[in-house]
């Protein structure tokens, strides 16, 4: 139904490289992590370390217009519903980190069976636990060498993970997800939404943990204090 469109050299070439003359041997590094939630949504984190000239070109194009970068990525990820987009730039290290929230990355085939489709030229790489990873190195038109490290992380609850191909020959990962995990993820999402609406975004866990700890300490103190409330001993027969 749809392809996982990240982790493509083509994409990186299209979005990152600018028409600049590169010195032979310039190397660019890209780390990409694609994490799938039990709901089938994804978080994509792309970290790109540029060489000096390409970074200048990148800044010229996107530096003052990050919405253009978002649009370009949204186009490339047209099979998903982009929910979040965040960019962090470090001029000192010439590193750009992009975090994208993408909904609807997985197709559910019924009874918890999920499918994650990849483009034809996608290499599955090595599988360790619930993570697929691979590294590539390629030479771009502009002369630079692009080194890419890619990881696809499936939900921890995923079981029966298999590689296959679909009817049009595209690589496919199928896995089974327990319905309880999906429901929990959904409930968790709802709680986060409620907390966000209450203006406590990002601190719900710590607020709860802290409140619990304080209550427990106060309770413990009460328990200790209770031992001081002893009955006074009075001598038999009169005043001492």
Partner 1 sequence: MVILRVLCLLLGGFLMLLGVGVAAAGVVHKYAGGTGATTASVETLDRSPGKLKKRLYYKKTVMTVAYKAYGNREAGTGQYWMAKLVLENEGKGLLKDIKISYRIPDWIGEWTTPDIAPELMPGQTFVYPIYPHFPARVATLRTRTPAEMQVRIQYTTGGETKEVVEKRPFEFRGINEIEYTSLPSEEIVNWYDQFDNSALIAAYSMDSDEAVQTYLSKISETMGGIDVPSNAKNVAETIYKIYNFQLRTGMTYAAAKGFPEKLGDVEAIVQNVRLPREVIQNNAGLCIELALLMCALCDASGAHSRLVLIPGHAYAVVQADDGSFVAFECTGVGGGRAGDKSTFAQALETGKKEFLQVLRGEVMGIVVDLRQHQSGGIRPPELPPIDKDALLRTLADRLREGGGTGAVNGGERRSQVVVTEKDAKAMPPVKVSIPILASWETDGALERAAKAAAPACKYMAHEESSGTYVQWYYVPTTNVDAFLDYLDATSSKLGLKYSFGKREKVRVDGRDSLKAPLGVMVANADFRGEMYGVPIKGGALYIIYAGPKDRSEELRDLIDRSMPKISIQEVN
Site for partner 1 in 95-154 (CB under 8 A): 103-104, 107-111, 119
Our finding on whether 161 is near partner 1 (CB under 8 A) is no
Measured distance CA(9)–CA(139) in Å, rounded: 10
Our finding on whether 198 is near partner 1 (CB under 8 A) is no
Query: Of 128, 225, 235, 239, which lies in the binding site for partner 1, with binding defined by CB under 8 A?
Result: 225
Judge residue 1's burial from the number of C-beta atoms within 10 Å of its C-beta, 0-12 exposed, 13-18 middle, 19 or more buried: exposed
Report in angstroms how near the CB of residue 178 gets to partner 1 at its nearest. Answer: 8
Concatenating the DSSP letter of every residue in the chain gives ------S-HHHHHHHH--S-PPPTT-EEEEEEEEEE-TTS-EEEEEEEE--HHHHHHHIIIIIT-HHHHHHHHHHHTTTSEEEEEEEEEETTTTEEEEEEEEE--SEEEETTEEEEE--TT----EEETTEEEEEEEEE-TTS-EEEEEEEEE--TT-EEEEEEE-TTS-EEEEEE--HHHHHHHHHHHHHHHHHHHTT-TTTHHHHHHHHHHHHHHHHHHHHHHHTT-PPPP--TTS--
Q: Which is nearer to partner 1, 120 or 126 (CB)?
A: 120
Q: Which is nearer to partner 1, 48 or 112 (CB)?
A: 112
Choose one: 25-33, 93-101, 122-130, 226-234; the region binding partner 1 (CB under 8 A).
Answer: 226-234
Residue 47-66 contact track with partner 1, rule CB under 8 A, x = bound: ---------xx--xx--xx-
Our finding on whether 185 is near partner 1 (CB under 8 A) is yes
How many other CB atoms are found less than 10 A from the CB of residue 141?
A: 9
Q: Which is nearer to partner 1, 71 or 123 (CB)?
A: 71
Our finding on whether 236 is near partner 1 (CB under 8 A) is no
Our finding on whether 197 is near partner 1 (CB under 8 A) is no
Report in angstroms how near the CB of residue 184 gets to partner 1 at its nearest. Answer: 4
Site for partner 1 in 67-96 (CB under 8 A): 67-68, 71, 75-76, 78-81
Measured distance CA(156)–CA(153) in Å, rounded: 8
Our finding on whether 180 is near partner 1 (CB under 8 A) is yes
Q: Which is nearer to partner 1, 23 or 209 (CB)?
A: 209
Q: Which is nearer to partner 1, 229 or 239 (CB)?
A: 229
Residue 8-47 contact track with partner 1, rule CB under 8 A, x = bound: x-xx------xxxx----------------xxxx------
Report in angstroms how near the CB of residue 99 gets to partner 1 at its nearest. Answer: 18
Strand partners, 35: 43, 153
């Amino acid at each position: 139904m749809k392809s996982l469109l990240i982790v493509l050299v083509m994409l990186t070439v299209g979005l990152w490289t600018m028409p600049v003359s590169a010195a032979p041997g310039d190397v660019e590094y890209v780390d990409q992590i694609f994490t799938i939630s039990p709901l089938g949504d994804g978080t994509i984190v792309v970290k790109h370390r540029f060489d000096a000239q390409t970074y200048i070109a990148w800044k010229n194009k996107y530096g003052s217009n990050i919405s253009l970068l978002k649009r370009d990525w949204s186009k490339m990820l047209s099979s998903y519903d982009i929910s979040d987009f965040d960019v962090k730039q470090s001029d000192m290290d010439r590193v750009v980190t992009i975090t994208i929230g993408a909904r609807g990355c997985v197709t559910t085939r019924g009874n918890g069976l999920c499918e994650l489709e990849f483009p034809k030229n996608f290499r599955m790489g090595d599988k360790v636990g619930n993570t697929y990873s691979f590294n590539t190195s390629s030479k771009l038109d502009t002369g630079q060498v692009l080194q890419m490290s890619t990881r696809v992380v499936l939900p921890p609850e995923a079981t029966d993970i298999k590689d296959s191909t679909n009817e049009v020959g595209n690589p496919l990962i199928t896995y089974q997800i327990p319905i309880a995990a999906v429901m929990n993820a959904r409930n968790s999402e709802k709680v986060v939404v409620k907390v966000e609406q209450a203006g406590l975004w990002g601190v719900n866990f710590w607020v709860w943990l802290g409140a619990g700890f304080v209550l427990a300490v106060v309770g413990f103190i009460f328990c200790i204090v209770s031992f001081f409330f002893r009955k006074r001993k009075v001598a038999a027969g009169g005043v001492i």
